[in-house]
A and B are shown apart, each in its own frame.
Chain A
Amino acid sequence: MFIKLIDVKKDYLSGKVVTPALRGVNLEIKRGEFVAIVGSSGSGKSTLMHIIGLLDKPTAGKYLLSNKDVSSLSDDQLAYLRNEKIGFVFQSFNLLPKISVLDNVLLPTLYSKETNHSKAKKEAISLLEKVGLKEKITVKPNEISGGEQQRVAIVRALINNPDLVLADEPTGNLDSKSSKVIMEIFSKIHQEGKTIIIVTHEDNIAKYAQRIVTMKDGKII
């Protein structure tokens, strides 16, 4: 099993208030699957994604990634996995505003151990061409549309050729036309063999996935 969550719990602590965001999640995802996570606001979708994406640690339970318990990994090892094995796409794109589209895409390669920079640059340009941004390589993120920004973010997630791509409401800030473009890109990536997990509110986005997981009150139903 590629991803295996066993009774994963997550409590947020703000001051003295404890918010249980995940109340015992069990989930298995095979390599190469395309999964959509749906559920109402506050049901714990983002929290789950953060744990799967190694951005956060569970309060209790076990998370096995490629059969390895991630709780035994050091911060640096987690950073390495985020860098090499996982690509993350966010609802609000999260591009750095001051640097070009190309430099944004290359950001993960700054933190890779052995990156050949001219090779990475070529790869970035070819990926940007594939998502139809050939003309926008040198512009700043604020000079392109939301849909285009999200395509840049997807290319950034793909630049280190990860096995797993996570997207938290990738179309949440986009109109339906841009959303369609983005989802077609995800389909294509999936066809190329990557494991994809997306969070969404919308049914017509969820239908791109092979499997739909529904969350409610911090649990999968």
Chain B
Amino acid sequence: MLKTFLLNLKLFLLYSSSHKLRTFLTTLGLIIGIGSLVLIVSLGNSAQKSIAVQMQKLGTNLITILPGGSEEGKPASQLFSSQEITTLKYEDAQALKDTPGIVALTAYVRGTVVLNYLNKTKNVLFSGVEPEYLLVENTQIEKGRFFNEDENESMAKVVVLGWQIAKDLFQRSDPLGKKIKINNQNFKIIGVMKKRGKIMFFDYDKEIFLPLKTAQKIILGIDHINFIRAKAVNEKLIPLISTYFKKTLRYRHRITEAKKDDFTIKDSQQMLDIFYKTTNTLKLFLAIIASVSLLVGGIGIANVMYVIVDERIREIGLRKAVGAKNSDILYQFLLESIILTLIGGVIGIFLGILAEFLISVIANRFGLLWPFIISWPSIFISLFVSFLIGLFFGFLPARKASQFSPAQAMRYE
């Protein structure tokens, strides 16, 4: 039995090695399919892991209030809306500041401005925040100071630079006290943030920070804010705080039914959950696309197996003449088809991993935190899928091979 298996294996390898190119070409579909399957699953895992790590970096025990309502367990409608929702106001944030159980809370507005210093011009992202920002996001000042409440209230033209911006504009000289033009208005630099790195898609080191009201009134000329974020003393208090936020905002916005909420409250864990949910769906979708190429690959396998069977009808006849049963021939060709798909699968897995490795190297070069994760389940699943494809798409050709009458097969030219 084992001996038969080994000899058939040997024969097959000898046989297909003399048709290397053809064998390779016909397994290409499978190789690509398996390769992209492995790559997609691994990339998905890496992306999820990377973002989860970064979300933690952003701070834990965070509660975010976004404008616009949302359905239970879904992302805030703001994410899907092309128009800015203006239901959250600065005053809402102020009303929530003395919520029990929070460390700190700040309103945010965000946007881009043109930065001008000497002859250098830059388009940069800014965050308009309140002084509590440092506490909420658990970050620090490297040089100088952050703005205070008076500067916020009086819409002072002061700015705190992200670490990278300061470095780009001032190299080694001291930026503190210097004047810089923001959208053609003079601002005074009062501080530089500590290096923080990229979190999600934001590079905090390339941002500048303005007092909330300054940003809102002078830069943007708007009346609303983009979101509010608070840090809870500990995780257990989050539900209580959320309830308090809800009640207060409903009261302030004169809302009587939960369905009519014009705001959405999400804590870090919920955001992570939503993130996983949406990305898992995306992963599944991509995997289904990859499966289509697997189907195409499988058809390629069936095709080459028919060719192989046709080329070897005399061999089949001979084997039958010396005593091979129909089932022996069936198993032989099924085995060949499975070996073919397993080889294709292994190559595909290898290429998928290689591609993933290159992507992680390149991503890390560009400063993205991108872990290289080999997903063992996806490898085993890919091998199993290859096996199944070999079995499934090899079956009809193998059965055809097994059904020749020996005399008929021996006469075949």
Contact = CB atoms under 8 A, between A and B. Distances in A.
Query: Do A and B come together as binding partners?
Result: yes
Interface of A: 50, 53, 55-57, 75-76, 79-80, 82-84, 88, 90, 94, 96, 98-99, 103, 107-108, 110-112, 117, 156, 160
Given A99-B11, A99-B14, A110-B324, 10 more contacts: A56-B408, A57-B405, A76-B325, A76-B326, A79-B323, A88-B322, A99-B7, A103-B7, A110-B3, A111-B4
A212 B325 CA distance: 33
Contacts of B15: 98
Contact of B405 (A55, A76, A84, A88): A55
Contact of A98 (B14, B326, B328): B14
Contacts of A76: 325-327
Interface of B: 3-4, 7, 10-11, 14-15, 18, 314-315, 317-328, 405-408, 410
Nearest to B3: A117
A111 B11 contact: no
B405 A111 contact: no
A112 to B, nearest CB: 7
Contacts of A82: 320-323, 406
A80 B320 CA distance: 10
Contacts of A84: 323
Contacts of B319: 107, 111
A184 to B, nearest CB: 24
Given A55-B407, A110-B3, A117-B3, A94 B323 contact: no
User: Considering residues A76, A108, A110, A111, which has the most beta carbons from chain B within 10 angstroms of its beta carbon?
Assistant: A110
A67 to B, nearest CB: 22
Contacts of B321: 53, 55, 82, 88
8 tightest A-B CB contacts, nearest first: A83-B323, A56-B407, A111-B323, A108-B322, A55-B407, A50-B407, A98-B14, A55-B406
A107 B407 contact: no
B343 to A, nearest CB: 18
B13 to A, nearest CB: 9
B410 A55 contact: yes
Contacts of A55: 317, 320-321, 405-407, 410
A96 B405 contact: no
Nearest to A117: B3
User: Considering residues A50, A117, A156, which has the most beta carbons from chain B within 10 angstroms of its beta carbon?
Assistant: A50
A207 B410 CA distance: 28
Contacts, number: 76
Contacts of B405: 55-57
Contacts of B11: 96, 98-99
B311 to A, nearest CB: 12
User: Considering residues B324, B327, B407, which has the most beta carbons from chain A within 10 angstroms of its beta carbon?
Assistant: B407
24 contacts: A53-B321, A55-B406, A56-B407, A57-B405, A76-B325, A76-B327, A79-B320, A79-B323, A79-B325, A82-B322, A82-B323, A83-B322, A94-B314, A94-B318, A94-B410, A96-B11, A98-B11, A99-B11, A107-B319, A111-B319, A111-B323, A112-B323, A156-B322, A160-B323
Nearest to A57: B405
Contacts of A80: 323, 325
Nearest to A115: B3
B314 A56 contact: no
A84 B323 CA distance: 8
A112 B328 CA distance: 11
Contacts of B317: 55
User: Considering residues A57, A98, A99, which has the most beta carbons from chain B within 10 angstroms of its beta carbon?
Assistant: A98
A75 B326 contact: yes
Nearest to A107: B322
B314 to A, nearest CB: 7
B266 to A, nearest CB: 66
Nearest to A110: B4
A107 B324 CA distance: 9
A16 to B, nearest CB: 18
Contacts of A103: 7
